[in-house]
Amino acid sequence: MNCLITRQNLHKGLAAVSASIPTKTTLPVLSNILFEAGQDGIWMSGTDLDVAVRVWVPAEVKEQGSITAPGKKLQEIVRELGDQPVELNTRGDQIELRCGKSHFKLNGLPSDAFPTLPEVDFDGGWSVKGADLHGLIKNTSFAVSSEESRPILNGVLWELRDGHMRMVATNGHRLARKGVAAGSSSAPSADFIVPPIALQQVQRLFESKENLEVAKSGNHLGFRADGTEVYTRLIEGTYPNYEQVIPKDNDKVAIVNKNALASAVRRMAVVASDQTHRIRMAFESDRVHLAVLTPDLGEGEDELELTYEGEGIEIGFNAAYLLEVLKYMSTDEVKITLKAPERAATVEPVPSEGEEAEDYLCLVMPLRLLD
């Protein structure tokens, strides 16, 4: 392999791929990036065996070839190089970099030692707007579970339907569900359970103005646009019926300023228990009273004005979950619906006048109040 490449292009490619390299691995080749020099550019690939990233970078290729080389080390070297073209050469299992008076040789491994990337056929897949995908990921992936006891909840459910797509995530204590209208697609309806780490790569590598191609082959999902590809292994299994959990009969409705509520909850959280983060909320006709009592720390009280319909109710919440949900509401006001102290509450954005309501709902399970 022998090619000439601008420092900016090389650094951009390495930065894109390096984030997919595992920090610790028992397989040395996974710490490497695969370089494949073709006619007018180089494909760079990195993988941790679950998520793979592949990026095409333009280059002047004098001799085609392939090698794997230490990804993080290369990135660190190229970051500090002068702004001049970089010559890449291979000699056996070594990669050689020349840039101005700088000259480096790094030991690599043969390209056939690198894991084979998933083969995904993009014909007959889906076309998705980057902005829609970014919005879905941002507004739901925070709610995934990190517990290993229920691996199915460690992923985000992505439902693709003709003209509509939706993402759902939950850890059993809170849930986020968002839907957007999508252009009709000839591809069949499908549900995937996607690891959030793969969705983070999608958010990082694809711009919101891009249109992405998405396709599934076997147990892998592929995303691609403009010379960048991301592949992920899907989480296998059946996602729980989340619709059953979302209450349809909550008859108590509060409309409150989001920032004022978040600020009050943050103040209460300071005095709340480090274990439960429990705060007490008493809703009345025109106000909500917030209270915290932690025996070994102290107590706190606060009050907020709001619009409220229904009978008064006292309910307990995990302040951390409530704040997390409020953080992702895009509107100034939010609607909270309640039924009973032991029943789930929902939180939804309230659109400004003339604005269209977004299909976004979060659910928070209450905590038992101890007298």
Instruction: Describe the strand order of the beta sheet including 126-129 as a list of residue ranges.
Output: 65-70, 32-37, 41-47, 51-58, 228-233, 220-225, 211-217, 126-129
What does the pLDDT read at residue 371? 55
C-alpha–C-alpha distance, residues 119 and 220, integer Å: 8
C-alpha–C-alpha distance, residues 64 and 2, integer Å: 7
- The residue type found at 113 is A
What does the pLDDT read at residue 163? 83
What does the pLDDT read at residue 75? 95
Instruction: Kindly report the number of other CB atoms within 10 A of residue 202's CB atom.
Output: 24
What does the pLDDT read at residue 184? 63
What does the pLDDT read at residue 188? 81
The three-state secondary structure class of 58 is strand
What does the pLDDT read at residue 149? 87
Tokens encoding 341: 């102290």
CA dihedral 261, 265, 266, 270 (to 10 degrees): 160
C-alpha–C-alpha distance, residues 106 and 73, integer Å: 9
Kindly give the parts of the chain with pLDDT less than 50.
none
Tokens encoding 245: 């959990």
* CA 53, 56, 59, 62 torsion-angle sign: positive
Equal fold, 126-243 vs 246-364:
yes
C-alpha–C-alpha distance, residues 223 and 283, integer Å: 46
Closest CA to 231 of 90, 11, 20, 5: 20
The three-state secondary structure class of 341 is coil
Q: What is the DSSP string of 237-294?
A: S----GGGTS-S---EEEEEEHHHHHHHHHHHHHHS-TTT-EEEEEE-SSEEEEEEEE
159-181 pLDDT per residue, tens: 998 889 999 999 999 999 999 98
C-alpha–C-alpha distance, residues 241 and 249, integer Å: 18
Domain residue ranges in the chain: 2-113, 126-243, 246-364
C-alpha–C-alpha distance, residues 254 and 243, integer Å: 22
- The residue type found at 243 is E
Closest CA to 203 of 225, 218, 183: 225
Q: What is the 3-state secondary structure (H, E, C) of 77-90?
A: HHHHCCCCCEEEEE
What does the pLDDT read at residue 288? 97
112-138 pLDDT per residue, tens: 999 999 999 998 889 999 999 999 999
What does the pLDDT read at residue 206? 96
Domain 126-243 is in which class?
alpha beta
C-alpha–C-alpha distance, residues 353 and 81, integer Å: 54
So what's the architecture of 246-364 in CATH? Roll (3.10)
CATH code of 2-113, in short, is 3.10.150.10
Closest CA to 268 of 238, 233, 299, 241: 299
Q: Per residue in 335-355, is it b (16+ CB within 10 Å) or e — as a string? A: bbbbbeeeebbbbbbbeeeee
- The residue type found at 71 is G
